[in-house]
Structure formats: C-alpha cells, structure tokens
Structure 1
Amino acid sequence: MHLIWLRTDLRLHDNTALAAASQRGPVAAVYLITPEQWQAHDDAPCKVDFWLRNLQHLSQALDNLNIPLLIRHAATWDQAPTVLSQLCRELSVESVHVNEEYGIHESRRDSAVAQALEADGVTFHSYLDQLFFQPGSVLTKTGTYFQVFSQFRKVCYSRLHSALPRRVPTPKAQAEPGVKSDPVPTAVEGFPTPSETLRALWPAGEDEARRRLDAFADQQISYYKDERDFPAKPGTSQLSAYLAAGVVSPRQCLHAALQTNQGEFESGDIGAITWINELLWREFYKHILVGYPRVSRHRAFRPETEALAWRKAPEDLAAWQQARTGLPIIDAAMRQLLETGWMHNRLRMVVAMFLTKNLLIDWREGERFFMRHLIDGDLAANNGGWQWSSSTGTDSAPYFRIFSPLSQSEKFDGDGVFIKRWLPELDALNKKQVHNPEAAGGLFGVADYPRAIVDLKQSRERALAAFRRLPSRQEMAEHE
C-alpha cells in the first residue's frame, strides 16, 4: 500500500503526489485535522470550513476510483510523525507521498515526518506541485534569491519559453483495497461554521474551481488588465481561495490562460499576460519564504524597518478592524472582508497602506487580522502583500508613496457603487459626496456614519517623518 498525505492540494486532477503514488500500486489518502496548529497560524474559520467542504467533494471523487480517504487527528504538527507512523504500520504502507509546502514550520514538519517514517522502513517522497519552479532554481547571477519581482519574472519567462510545466495524468480506478474511507467532519472545534451566505459565495469542489477558471478564461481574461482595479466590477477570477486550498493548480491556471492567448505569455492579449504575471507574483512570494526565512518568523524583509516607531493605538486599530474609520472606501472594503471572507486586491493595498501609513500601526497587526478572516489566506501572499504596502518588504512601494484613500476611491469607485453596496447608510449621498461624507455639508456629515478618525494630510506627514528617521541599510551594516 502507498499513501498520499493531502494538505493544500485538495484535488484529484493534476495532483503530482497523487499521480506518483498511484503509479506504484494500491493507494490510500490521508488528511490530518490539526486544530491547534491552525489556530497558531491564524487560519480563518471560513477557510477551515472551505477545506472541509472541499475534502467532502474530494472524498467522493476518490471513492469513485476506490481510493479511501482516511481522516486522522493531531492537535499540532509535532504529533504528525507519531500519527502517520502509526497509520503506516496499520496499513503496511511502503511509501508516503506529499506535495511540497513552503515556510519554516512546514519544512520542519515534513523533515520530522520523513525521519520517523524512514526509521520504520517507509520511504518519503515530496514533489514540486504548487509552484512552476523549485525554490532555489530561480536565482540571480551571484546565486542568491531575487528580491525584485521584475528580475525574477524575467528568468521565469525564459524558463517557461524552454519548458512549460506539464500537467500530470489523473489516476485510474484501482481494485478495492479493503480499507474504508472515514467520514469527513463537517466542523472542527474552535472554528465556528460561517454563515450560509458566505458559504454560498464559495461552493466547494474541483468542478466549481474548473467552472470559474473556464468562465474567466473564456469571458473575462481579456478585460482583466483594465477591470481588475475596479472593485464594483467582476474583473477578477475569484479563484484565489481555490488556489490557496489547492482545489485548482497553478499549472491548470497557466494552461487555461495560454490557451486563450495562442500559447503566448509575453505578447498578445494584455489581459492574459497581466493575469499570468499575477500567478508569477504568487510564485515569487513563495520563493521569498524559502530564500528569506525571517519573513516566516514575523520579521520585516527589510531589516532596517524593524526600527520603525509604530504607534500603539488600540482604538484606531479596532476602528479599522470594525469598519468604522469614517473613510468610506476603507470601511466598505473591511465590511466586504468580514462578510465574505475575501477582499478585492486593489482594496487590500489601500486598506493596508491606510493602516500602516495613515494610522502608523505595525503591519503585523493587519497581516494577522487578514489571516483570521480570509478564505484565501496564504502566508506567502498575505505577508508579501502587507510588507509591500508598508514599505518593509521586497520590491516594496517606496515609503513616500502613500495611497490617499480619497483619490483611490474617486479613481476606482467613481460612482460609489462599491461603497454603497457595503455601506447602505451612505445611499442618499451623490457620487461626489459619497467618498468623503464629512465634507458633505452640515456639521456632522451623515448622521449614522462616523467622522474620519484621522486627518489624511497630517497622518501622511507623520508617516513620512517616521520613515525618514530610519537608519539606512548601509548605516546598519556599518554598526554590525
């Protein structure tokens, strides 16, 4: 018997480890429920619920091929070696197969499991699956990991020209292995089930992920570059949750985009090119996790920014978290997150910059809050995005580039359609007033909407001053 240990790869098709395991002989699948680990990693209840719903779909698909899905419990990853060794003994397993995951804790977990299994004579195999390129294989001329996306992309492009990552075959049905599947739990203690409204926005299963990918590639991708910045338009693929849980693979996404663009990723349809770029950003941030492990440890990518004098401002932080900053575009975006488990990508940058620059609150507070609410929460992408916005990360926005929530709002939600969708209390305002109700006349603006908690101009100056006081990299190096 051979075992595939499923993690963030909840799919039957184009699953490298599953294909490899099933080529060796009879195969079973296992999934570990690790609630304390999920809590330590700030995984959102809606994300855990999404995993469980996808596991139920996957269990049925595997059952059709006579591949049993076993569910095991381990409070934390520290217990994974014991739990998996025990299972391997029960089933007389010869080999265990996994798709690689990235991050310090993930790597430690996998090497501990490999060691424990190999001591029992069980071989452990891991495969490149959620990335196009092995981390460590896309390097600068001096052999270091890239820190700038545009240079990283250039090397990726030249690699893709010479060899496109191929999709792997789907396993065929096997003979009955004499092992029964376990029921997939519908809930896990400590992770309340989200509302039916939220769940309905994110149907589970590979068929749904494929439907979204095909619909986006057929109808939307050409408009992606022009429409992706407008939160009121359906300009994005809405695939991020499916990619984060591995219900669809990056290879499937790449091939779907290339198919619409005659196999091209550097010329032709600008929408397809832009979307492929987004897949490469995702790749870049995972390479960063491996190349610069400090970002897995809640550290700034740019060490000199660790000295930044962030404000301790619990009331401001709470106002931001609860969508009552008095700035409509910020509050509308935060309500979208709280109610749907997702936020439009342009708005993720806007609210992150507002928290870290206008409120001068540590980016780690925002990163953690997002992870606790996002259905597509992914350590690499979330950390990369927050550090980019707060000017502490790779290739980041220079500290003096501070998005004004008002001009972003006027530019990307000109008629206030998105704002009014999430802040119905502003419905009566016209398209000019809706961006800044305080200026809408009367002493108090709109009766049941708060005044802005911060003066944008003064807070911008405060942020610039705080960043100017930081030592430069050169000064830091001289002091070491």
Structure 2
Amino acid sequence: MENKAESVIWFRSDLRILDNPALANALRQGCTKALFMAPLEQWLQHDMAPIQLDFIQRHLNLLRDQLAELGVELTCLTVTDFDSQIDCLTTYCQAQQIKYIYANSEVELNEHRRDQKIIANGLPLRLSEADVIVPKGSVLNGQQEMYKVFTPFRNAWLKKLRQHPLNLAFLPEPASPPVTAAHQPAEQIELAGDKVCSKKWPLSDIILQQVIPEFIDNKCQDYLQLRDYPGVKGTSGLSPYLAIGAISPRSLVNALTQTFPTLLDDITSSAFCWLNELAWRDFYKHLLFHFPELCKHQNYQQKYNHLQWPNDNALFDAWCQGQTGYPLVDAAMRQLLQTGWMHNRLRMVVASFLTKHLLVDWRRGERFFMQHLIDGDFSANNGGWQWAAGTGCDAQPYFRIFNPITQSKSFDAEGVFIRKFVPELAALPSKQIHFPHPYLHDTGQTALYCPPIVDHKTAREQALGFYKQHLSA
C-alpha cells in the first residue's frame, strides 16, 4: 500500500463520493487528502452561469462533510485558470510530499490539454473515467470510427451494456477515522464571483435518497407520455447533478435496470425512453472525445462554415429577454432567466426559433444558455444547439423548422406553462393564448403583450432561402 500521506484525490467535475472511480482508487491506497481548485477566471471565460457556481459551492460543502466521514480532508483553493491549476498543484504536491494524484478525466479540449501538461511536467496523475456510462472510444462502427448517426450508436451502446454489466466503483472501508471538528474548518467553503441562489435545487444526497427512487418507482413509467409537456413535472430534473458530477450516470442506469430487468431489450417502454436520454448524453460526450475541435465552436458539418448569419442584435435581444411575441418561446426564455433551467422540448423550440426564424448564429444562443443554465454542460449544450441549427452530428435537417404556435398547441394546449411565465396573458382563453395578437387587437388590448418580432411564414421562407443560398454557393 502506498503511504497515505503521499496521495491526494483531485476533484474536478465529479463532486460525489458514490461511483467515483478516482476516489475509490485513492482510498484503497489509504489517501486522506482531497483537493479542489476553482479556476474562476477560466469558468468565466467558459460562460459558467452564476447559478451553477452557487450549485457547485453548495456541493463542495456537502462533499467536504461526506469526505470527512471517510477520514479525508478537503482543501479548496481558488486559482485563475487551468495553467495556474498546474502551478498550484505542483506547489501543493511539493509542500504535502504528494507522490500520487488521483483524478477523473475530463473530455473537453482545454481540460485534456491541462492534464497532458501535468503528466509532461512529471506529476504522477492517475486518471479514471467517470463521466459516461459506456467508455468513450469503445462504441465504434465497422470502420472503427465514431458513429455519425445517433440510433446506430445507441444500438451499439446497448450491445456494450448487455455484454459488459456495469461495475460501479464501490468505496472501500475507510482506512482512517473521520476527520474531527478540530481538524475540519467550521466555516463554509465560499467561492468568489457573482452567484445566483440555487437552493430550489436540493443537494444530491436528498436526490439520491428521495427523488431518484420516487422517479424510477413511480414516474418513470409515465415519462414517455409526459416528458414533452412543460406544464407538468414529467422529467427527472437530474441534469444539473449530472453536469457537475454530483450524481453518476452509471448509477442511474444501474438503478433503472434493477427496477426494470428487461429494460435493455424493451425499447418501446417508457423507462427505455428515459434511458435513451442518457444515451444521448453519452453520444455527445463520445462525439467530443473523437472530435475535440468542437470545443472551438466549429460546425460539426463543415459545409455550413460559409453561412453568413445576419445576427440582428435587436432580434437577439428580444429573444434573450423573452419578448418575441410568441408566447411559448417567451415563456421558455423567461423560465430560463427566472429559474436557471429550461424544459428540454422548449430548448429545441427556442433554439430553432433563434437560428431559423431570426437567423442568429447558433453560437450566440449556445453561449447565452451556458451563461444562465444550472445544468450547463459543454458537450450536451453544443450538441443540442448544433442539432437545432442543422450544423451538427445527426442534426435535424435545415429545412425542419419548428412552428412555435403548433408546438404550443401540441404541448401546452391549455396554456398552463405560458400563464405561469407570461402572466400578462394569464386571463386569455386557451384557444387564443398560443398566438394572441388577433384576439388582443379585436379586444383593444394590444398594449398587453409585445407584438411578434417576425412573421412565422415569412421567417420560414427566409430561412429556407438562407440555407439553400449558402449551401449551393
């Protein structure tokens, strides 16, 4: 066994103790030290949302207490960027006589380059993988390449799951007694920077004890029917925890298959529909692993590189503020601004509206989402935006343009969601609420709600012409 004073577990985007391979490996070697280095300027450059910063801070405090029970003391340091993490880590290891650093890998390009620099500098960084269900690089087509379409990827991904049952990283018995109050600082960990309160989102220990069992046992069977309706709580709400690594995606699949033993073969079930969402998350992580240049905001499909987006700032600002004159779009954007979260179907609706109705570059929407989402995750956010814009891997084709009015009628028929986030329309009849302008005109209430910033039919025709023109150039 390595000397326990010679190793440290370095937490990054894996703020949990359950199914944490790096932590499990460190504890087997008697590790009693843990480290977290917050690269605040780098996070700001990467557009981390203030609500996500608060969410991370709260989970760091939870993690500190959980580690203390395992006899591990967490040190939280503030640095500027990834390069300063290297310097800080070097100094820490020298001062603490650390010879072994355990951490879980991160797939993003800058993070990967940082880890390679650390290894090149001679620091013994021992990496595990903890952010996906099926190992990245293991789901390949017949040419030993990454799949370009999701469904074949998902089928191969399922085959891997059937052939190789999940082996969760279970923690060994603590080799050290709990860290006592005398050795554990009493004050809370406080990260610098602007923060927005995230306390409406319970900590992950509550999610693990209450929310996940309740969802899998009682709500999962209705997921297929309810997931597209923003006016009801039909989704799991776990994305913020997955984004910061507070919950393991493998543990979710493990819990799901224990409740639904035939799940991997029953692709028509409601529970499988939820598993499919986890497969999409893996798909985008795998995609980033194979195509790291996506981190530079490049189009996955390079034929779109010549698109000359008009990028009308007034239209973009109206979209950001939830003042487009399309109630479902505005309700979704206001939900994002008020809560730091947006229903998944509405993410597709508003992304399609920005890129195809307003002809604003998808990168501007991608950045705005990251600046506000509590569940901001680069691979999923980038993948979703490129899907909506038609520029991504297995994206919706450019000529598929969501109609925000029919989407509203289909998924918020009674206007429950709209009334909550666009309260100026709360008194309108359900039939009129999806596009209220004729009704408001007839009743002399045009001042009640902002006029539509574009006409749907005209905008659709312009979008088709825009894409065709630049694709044929």
Name the counterpart of 1:295: 294
Partners of 1:283 and 1:411 lie apart in 2 by 29
Name the counterpart of 1:206: 205
CA shift, 1:185, in A, is 5.7
CA shift, 1:229, in A, is 0.2
Q: Does 1:229 align with 2:232?
A: no
Write the letter of the residue equivalent to 2:9.
I
Partners of 2:142 and 2:109 lie apart in 1 by 26
- Secondary structure at the counterpart of residue 448 of structure 2: coil
Q: Does 1:158 align with 2:163?
A: no
Q: Does 1:188 align with 2:169?
A: no
Unmatched tracts of structure 2, length 5 or more: none
TM-score w.r.t. the length of structure 2 is 0.95
Residue correspondence of structure 1 range 10-159 to structure 2 within 5 A: 10-116=15-121, 118=122, 122-159=123-160
Question: Deviation digits for residues 323-371 of structure 1, max 9, x if unmatched?
Answer: 1111100010011101111000000000000000000100000000000
CA shift, 1:410, in A, is 0.2
Partners of 1:68 and 1:305 lie apart in 2 by 50
Name the counterpart of 1:255: 254
- Secondary structure at the counterpart of residue 82 of structure 1: helix
Q: Return closer, same or farther for 1:111/1:63 CA change in 2, 3 Å cut-off.
A: same
Name the counterpart of 1:383: 382
CA shift, 1:420, in A, is 0.1
TM-score w.r.t. the length of structure 1 is 0.93
Write the letter of the residue equivalent to 1:105.
N
- Alignment check: 8 A CA contact 2:309 2:360 kept: yes
- Secondary structure at the counterpart of residue 372 of structure 2: coil
Partners of 2:130 and 2:186 lie apart in 1 by 27
Question: Deviation digits for residues 207-227 of structure 1, max 9, x if unmatched?
Answer: 334422111101110111110
Q: Report how many aligned residue pairs link the two structures.
A: 465
- Alignment check: 8 A CA contact 1:267 1:273 kept: yes
Question: Deviation digits for residues 38-65 of structure 1, max 9, x if unmatched?
Answer: 0011000000100010010110111112
- Alignment check: 8 A CA contact 1:58 1:205 kept: no
Question: Deviation digits for residues 122-157 of structure 1, max 9, x if unmatched?
Answer: 521111111123322211111211111011111111
Partners of 1:287 and 1:229 lie apart in 2 by 26
CA shift, 1:268, in A, is 7.1
Partners of 2:356 and 2:190 lie apart in 1 by 38
- Secondary structure at the counterpart of residue 211 of structure 2: helix
Worse-superposed segment, 352-361 or 462-471:
462-471
Name the counterpart of 1:392: 391
- Secondary structure at the counterpart of residue 127 of structure 2: strand
- Alignment check: 8 A CA contact 1:209 1:239 kept: no
Write the letter of the residue equivalent to 1:438.
H
Question: Deviation digits for residues 1-38 of structure 1, max 9, x if unmatched?
Answer: 21111011111111110000110123311000111010
Partners of 2:446 and 2:36 lie apart in 1 by 51
- Alignment check: 8 A CA contact 1:260 1:272 kept: no
Worse-superposed segment, 163-172 or 358-367:
163-172
- Alignment check: 8 A CA contact 2:332 2:343 kept: yes
Q: Return closer, same or farther for 1:403/1:269 CA change in 2, 3 Å cut-off.
A: closer
Partners of 1:235 and 1:173 lie apart in 2 by 39
Question: Deviation digits for residues 47-88 of structure 1, max 9, x if unmatched?
Answer: 010001001011011111210001122200011111111111
Name the counterpart of 1:362: 361
CA shift, 1:186, in A, is 5.0
Q: Return closer, same or farther for 1:264/1:125 CA change in 2, 3 Å cut-off.
A: same
Partners of 2:294 and 2:418 lie apart in 1 by 34
- Secondary structure at the counterpart of residue 452 of structure 1: coil
- Secondary structure at the counterpart of residue 96 of structure 1: strand
Worse-superposed segment, 203-212 or 22-31:
203-212
Write the letter of the residue equivalent to 1:318.
D
CA shift, 1:270, in A, is 1.0
Partners of 2:191 and 2:133 lie apart in 1 by 33
Question: Deviation digits for residues 453-480 of structure 1, max 9, x if unmatched?
Answer: 00000000000011112336xx9xxxxx
Name the counterpart of 2:461: 461
- Alignment check: 8 A CA contact 1:437 1:445 kept: no
Question: Deviation digits for residues 376-404 of structure 1, max 9, x if unmatched?
Answer: 00000000000000100010101111010
Name the counterpart of 2:284: 285
Partners of 1:186 and 1:350 lie apart in 2 by 38
- Alignment check: 8 A CA contact 1:310 1:361 kept: yes
Could you say what the CA RMSD is over the residues aligned between the two structures, in angstroms? 1.8
CA shift, 1:448, in A, is 2.6
Name the counterpart of 1:240: 239
- Alignment check: 8 A CA contact 1:300 1:392 kept: yes
- Alignment check: 8 A CA contact 1:261 1:268 kept: no
Write the letter of the residue equivalent to 1:194.
V
> Percent identity over the alignment?
39
Name the counterpart of 1:329: 328
- Alignment check: 8 A CA contact 1:18 1:171 kept: no
Write the letter of the residue equivalent to 2:118.
V
CA shift, 1:445, in A, is 4.8
Name the counterpart of 1:478: none
- Secondary structure at the counterpart of residue 447 of structure 1: helix
Partners of 1:342 and 1:97 lie apart in 2 by 32
Q: Return closer, same or farther for 1:210/1:467 CA change in 2, 3 Å cut-off.
A: farther
CA shift, 1:441, in A, is 4.4
Q: Return closer, same or farther for 1:409/1:363 CA change in 2, 3 Å cut-off.
A: same
Write the letter of the residue equivalent to 2:459.
S
